[in-house]
Structure 1
Amino acid sequence: MINAEAINKMSKTVRLILGDQLNSNHSWFKTTDDSVTYVMMEIRSETDYAKHHIQKVVGFFAAMQAFYFDLKAKKHQLIYMYLNDEDNLQSFDRNIKSLISKHKFTHFEYQLPDEFRVDEVLKELCKSSEISSSVIDSEHFFTSRNELEHFFEGKKTFVMENFYRMLRKKHDVLMEGDQPLTGKWNYDSENRKKLPKNHKPTPPLVFSNDVSKVLEQINTTDIKTIGNIDAVNFVWPINRAQSLQLLDFFLAECLHLFGSFQDAMTPNEWSLYHSRLSFSMNLKMISPQEVIDKAMKEWESRPNEIEYNQLEGFVRQIIGWREYMRGIYWLKMPEYSSMNFFNNQEKLPDWFWTGNTKMNCLKDAINQSLNFAYAHHIQRLMITGNFALLAGIDPDEIDAWYLGIYIDAIEWVEITNTRGMSQFADGGIVGTKPYVSSAAYIDKMSHYCGSCFYKKELKTGGKSCPFNSLYWNFYDKNEGKLAKNPRIGMMYNVWRKMKPEAKVALLEQADYYLKKINEL
C-alpha cells in the first residue's frame, strides 16, 4: 500500500504563473514543496498580440523577474524562461508541453487567466495533454467571473450602480448594517471640479528603477513597440514593496483631493491626484481588498482632512467599475471584441502615434501617453476616446491603440472601457449614452483651450475647434440609432431647432476636418 507521503514524492507538479499573476499572498505560496515547480515565461505570443508601449513590455518583464527572485529567495522550485532563451518556444502551450516532456511532470496547474484568449489556450492545452491538470482561482478579485451574469440574470440592462451597491453590502464596504455610511451611496456629482487656475498638484511619487538589462534584451529582438522610456529611471513600481509605497503615498498626499479633481485635466501634469495603482493591481502585486482597507483606515484617521466624497469616489472605481468591467468582459466575450454599433470604419489619425496635432487637449494627452504609458480616465474617455468616436474611427483601431499604449491595459479591463464606455460600440451594454462632447465640456474640465491654436467658441471657420462641428456631425449622422435614447433627446431638440444654414455650415466644416484629419 502506498501512503500519502509516498504519492506526494512520486507526483511532480508544474504550476504556471502568468505575467499578471504576481500575487505573493496567493495560497500557492503559503508552503514550499519540492514536488512543485513553478514556471514563468517571457514569450513572443504576449509581446506581439498588440503593438505595446515599450514601458509596458519592460514593466511586465521587470516585475516578473522581481517576483521570480522573491519566490526563489523563499525556497520555491522555479523555472524562468527569458525572452531570448534558446529553448523558449515563445508560447504558453508549446513551452509547457516541452517542460512536461523534459522534466517528466505528472500534473499541470494554473490560475484562472484574466484574458479570454489566454484562457482558451490553456483550456485547449489541458484537453490535449496526456497528464492531469487543474485550475485554481487567482484569489484577487471581489467577484467570480460569472457573478455579474448571475446578478443580472433575467435583466435587459446591466446598471453598474446596482452591482456596486450589491458588492458594498456583500463585502461590508462603507456600510452601516445594510445601509451606506452617511445614508448616501454615490457622491459622483461632487467629484467633477476643475483644477483652480493657480493650483499646483502634489508632485507624483516616481521610482528610479534601472531596467536597462530588460530593455537591452528586448532591443535584440524585432518586437515592435511604441512610446519612450528612461531605462535607468523607470518610474513605475516593479514589485510589491514599491506598489505599497505608491499606495501609501496616494493615501497620504492625494486621497484628500482625489474625488474633487478626478475628472480635472491640465497641461504638463500627468498624475494630478490619481493613485496610478492600476498597473500594480492589474499585475496583482497588491490586491483591491488591501487598497480599499487602507483607504478606509486613512479616512478614519483623518476625518477632518479627508471628506467622505473623496473616499467614496476612489472606492467606487475599485469595487464598482473595476469589478463591473471584468464581469461584463466574461459575460460578453468573445462577441464583445467585434461589436461595432455605429459601423465606424475610419483609420486612426497618424498623430495618435506621435502627438503632433494642433489641438492642445489631444497633443497633451497623447504626448503624456507616449512618455509615461499613462493617462487618467477622463483623458482617455473625453479627449482621445471622444475625438475617435466623433471622427468615426473603427473600434478595432481604437482597441489596438488603447491596449498597446497604456501600461495598465490588459484586455479584460481595456476592451470594456474602450469598446463599451468610450466608443459605445456595444450599443449601450456598458454606457447608457455615447460619451461625446464639444469644446465646452473640455474647457469646463481643463486648462487646454486657452492657449490652443483652435478657438473653443468658434463652431465654423479655419480656427474653429474641431470638436464643435464634429459633435453635431456625429449626432446628425447617427440620428437613426440615437434619437430615441432618452438621455440625449435634448441634443436632438437643439439640433432640430437650428437654422438650416447653420446646420449646413456645421456639417460642411466637419466634412472638411474629417478629410484633413491628419493635418489637424
Structure 2
Amino acid sequence: MSRRTLLVLGDQLNRATGALADVGPEDVGVRMVLSRAKLAQRPWHRAKLHLVISAMRRFADGLREEGFEVDWRVEDTWADGLDGAVDPVVMAPSSWDLRQRLDDLGVEQVPNDAFVVGEDGFAEWARGRNSLGLEWFYRQVRTETGWLMDEGEPTGGQWNHDKDNRQRPPADGVSPPPPWRPTEDALDEEVRREVRGFEQSLGLELYGSMDERIFATSRAEALAALEDFLDHRLAGFGPLEDAVVDDEPFMWHSLLSVPLNYGLLHPHEVCEAVDARWRDGRRDLPVASAEGFLRQVAGWREYVWGIYWHRMPGWREENHLGHDGTVPQAFWDGETDMACISSTVGGLLERGWNHHIPRLMLLGNYALMAGVDPQALTEWFHSMYVDAFDWVMVPNVIGMSQWADGGVMATKPYASTARYVNRMTTHCEGCAFDHRTRTEDDSCPFNSLYWDFLSRHRTTLSANHRMAPILGNLDRFSRGERDAIRERARRFRTDG
C-alpha cells in the first residue's frame, strides 16, 4: 500500500508542527515543490530566494537523515507538483490565496499550529469587541501563558514599557554586540547558482544582493541564533529598539524574524526562553528589554497573524484614503538625496532586511504621505523583504503603515514630519535636505508632504478624535504658505 503524501511548504520547516508532528518515515512520503509560476509571480530580492530555497533544501536533507523519503520537485505550477501524490495532506498555508488553491486541488489541510494563538483563538478573543487593539490581546496572551507574570500581575508592575524603550540615538554613538552569523557551506553557493539560473531561464526581475547570508536557514542554526541573542543582545534590546543609527543596521535586534517566519523556530519556544532568562537572571536582564522583545513576538506577531485571518479576504483590497500612486523609484534603487531613504533602501538591497522603524516610519511614512497605492506598496514589501509573507505584509501595510483600512489596526495614521526622523535616527546629519524647514528649495520632503497630506485628507481625518487637534494647526498657515507647501509636496508625490 502506498504511503500518503505529506506536503511541506517553504514557511513550514518544523518537524514538530502540522501534519509532520506525529508521523514517521514509515507513515508518509514527503514532497516539497518549488513552483516556477510562483517565482515569476512578482519581482524578488535575490537574498529572499536564496534563503527560502536554502532553508527548504536543508530541511529536506534533515528529513532524509531521519529516514523520510523526500521528493524535491521544481515544477511549472503547484498543480504539476501534485502529480502522482497519494491522498495529499498539508498544514494549512499561511496565505489566504494558497489555502483556496489547495482546496480547489483537493488537498487536505490540517490546522496551522505554528503560532501561540491559533486563528480560532483570536476569533474567540475578537468576538463582540468594538475595538481590536493590540494591547488587550497582548495582555490576554501573557495572562494565559504566564510569561513575565508574577502571581497574576505583570512583572515589574506594568504591562507596557514602551516609554522606556523609545530612546533616541545617543550623541556619543552606540556599540552593540555583533549579531550571530552562520557558517556558509557548499549548499549556499549551489543555491546561488540555482537562483542565477532561474533569473536567466525565467526572465525574473530580481533586486539586491545575495552575496552574504546573515540569517539562519536550518533548525540548528536557528537555535544557535536564538541562544546568541539571549546571551549577548537581549539585555540591551529595549531602550534603543526604535533608534536608527547609520552603520549599525542591526542594533540589538534579534534577527530571528526569518527563522520564525520560515518555521525553523516556534514562537512559543522563543517566548519561553525569554521568560526563563528573566526568571534565571533578573538582576542582569532589565524587565523593559525582556518585555519589549516579548511584546514583539507574543504580542505584535501573534496579533498580526490573528487579525489577518479575521479580516481576510477583503482586507487586502482596502484603500480608505483612495491613494493610487506608484511605488517611488528610489524604493527600488535607493537613488535619492534623502539620506534616510537612500540609507534604508541601500541596506535593504544589501541584506533584504531593516528593523521595524525604517519600515514603518521612513518607508511607510513616506509612501503614505506621497499617496502610494497601498496594494502596490504591499506587493513591494512582499518582494523586497526576506521575512515577508502575505500574512505579515497585509496587516503591516494595509492596516498599520498606510491606514488603508480606516483605523481597524491603527488609531491614527502613522504620518510625521522630519522632526521624528531627526529625533530617532542619525540620518539628518549631513543630509542634503534641511529637516527644520517646509518650503525652501532644500526643505526636507517629509515636512511639506506631511502638511499636504493633512490638508488633502482633512475631511476624512477630522472624524478621528486623535487627529482633530493636529488638523487645527493647518489654520495657522497663511494662504501663501499653504500654496507653497502644496507645490513643494507635489514634487515628491507619486499619485499625480
TM range (shorter): over 0.9
Distance in 1 (alpha carbons) for counterparts of 2:363 and 2:492: 16
Superimposed CA distance per residue, residues 470-504 of structure 1 (whole angstroms, 9 cap, x where no aligned partner): 00000000011101211122211211233333222
Amino acid at match of 2:182: F
Residue pair 1:268, 1:364 contacting (<8 A) in 2 also: no
Among residues 50, 53, 63, which one is paired with 1:58 in the alignment? 50
Distance in 2 (alpha carbons) for counterparts of 1:263 and 1:39: 41
Q: Which residue of 2 aligns with 1:188?
A: 162
Structure 1 residues 52-131: aligned runs within 5 Å = 52-81=44-73, 83=74, 88=75, 90-96=76-82, 98-100=83-85, 105=86, 107-126=87-106
Q: Which residue of 2 aligns with 1:5?
A: none
Amino acid at match of 2:59: F
In structure 2, relative to structure 1, the CA distance for the partners of 1:512 and 1:431 (3 Å cut) is: same
* Greater shift in the superposed pair: 174-183 or 464-473: 174-183
Distance in 2 (alpha carbons) for counterparts of 1:373 and 1:208: 19
Residue pair 1:262, 1:273 contacting (<8 A) in 2 also: yes
Superimposed CA distance per residue, residues 296-347 of structure 1 (whole angstroms, 9 cap, x where no aligned partner): 2222333222210111010011111111111111111110111111110111
Q: Which residue of 2 aligns with 1:201?
A: 176
CA-CA distance at 1:508 after TM superposition:
2.2
Q: Does 1:39 find its partner at 2:39?
A: no
Distance in 2 (alpha carbons) for counterparts of 1:124 and 1:57: 27
CA-CA distance at 1:354 after TM superposition:
0.6
Amino acid at match of 2:37: S
In structure 2, relative to structure 1, the CA distance for the partners of 1:497 and 1:458 (3 Å cut) is: closer
Among residues 7, 10, 13, which one is paired with 1:22 in the alignment? 13
Q: Does 1:322 find its partner at 2:301?
A: yes
Amino acid at match of 1:452: C
In structure 2, relative to structure 1, the CA distance for the partners of 1:447 and 1:115 (3 Å cut) is: same
Structure 1 residues 391-470: aligned runs within 5 Å = 391-470=370-449
Distance in 2 (alpha carbons) for counterparts of 1:447 and 1:71: 46
Q: Secondary structure at the match of 1:113?
A: coil
Q: Does 1:138 find its partner at 2:112?
A: yes
Amino acid at match of 2:209: I
Q: Which residue of 2 aligns with 1:4?
A: none
Q: Secondary structure at the match of 1:200?
A: coil
Among residues 12, 20, 40, which one is paired with 2:3 in the alignment? 12
Q: Secondary structure at the match of 2:341?
A: helix
CA-CA distance at 1:154 after TM superposition:
2.2
Distance in 1 (alpha carbons) for counterparts of 2:214 and 2:345: 18
Distance in 1 (alpha carbons) for counterparts of 2:194 and 2:78: 20
The structure number with the bigger radius of gyration is 1
CA-CA distance at 1:418 after TM superposition:
0.9
Q: Secondary structure at the match of 1:21?
A: coil
Unaligned runs of 5+ in 2: none
CA-CA distance at 1:179 after TM superposition:
2.2
**What is the TM-score when the length of structure 2 is the normalising length?**
0.95
Q: Secondary structure at the match of 2:481?
A: helix
Amino acid at match of 1:349: P
CA-CA distance at 1:225 after TM superposition:
4.0
Extract structure 1 runs of 4+ deviating beyond 3 A.
512-517
In structure 2, relative to structure 1, the CA distance for the partners of 1:516 and 1:17 (3 Å cut) is: closer
Among residues 199, 206, 209, which one is paired with 1:229 in the alignment? 209
CA-CA distance at 1:146 after TM superposition:
3.0
Among residues 104, 129, 143, which one is paired with 1:155 in the alignment? 129
Residue pair 2:210, 2:351 contacting (<8 A) in 1 also: no
In structure 2, relative to structure 1, the CA distance for the partners of 1:13 and 1:362 (3 Å cut) is: same
Q: Secondary structure at the match of 1:40?
A: strand
Q: Which residue of 1 aligns with 2:259?
A: 280
Amino acid at match of 2:195: I
Q: Secondary structure at the match of 2:70?
A: strand
CA-CA distance at 1:393 after TM superposition:
0.5
* Greater shift in the superposed pair: 403-412 or 221-230: 221-230
The root-mean-square deviation of aligned C-alpha atoms, in Å, is 1.8
CA-CA distance at 1:234 after TM superposition:
1.9
* Total equivalences in the alignment: 489
In structure 2, relative to structure 1, the CA distance for the partners of 1:65 and 1:92 (3 Å cut) is: same
Among residues 469, 486, 491, which one is paired with 1:490 in the alignment? 469
Unaligned runs of 5+ in 1: 1-9, 127-132
Q: Secondary structure at the match of 1:420?
A: helix
CA-CA distance at 1:365 after TM superposition:
0.7
Q: Does 1:366 find its partner at 2:345?
A: yes
CA-CA distance at 1:420 after TM superposition:
1.0
In structure 2, relative to structure 1, the CA distance for the partners of 1:478 and 1:514 (3 Å cut) is: same
**What is the TM-score when the length of structure 1 is the normalising length?**
0.90
* Greater shift in the superposed pair: 473-482 or 263-272: 263-272
* Percent of paired sites with the same residue: 30
Amino acid at match of 1:209: E
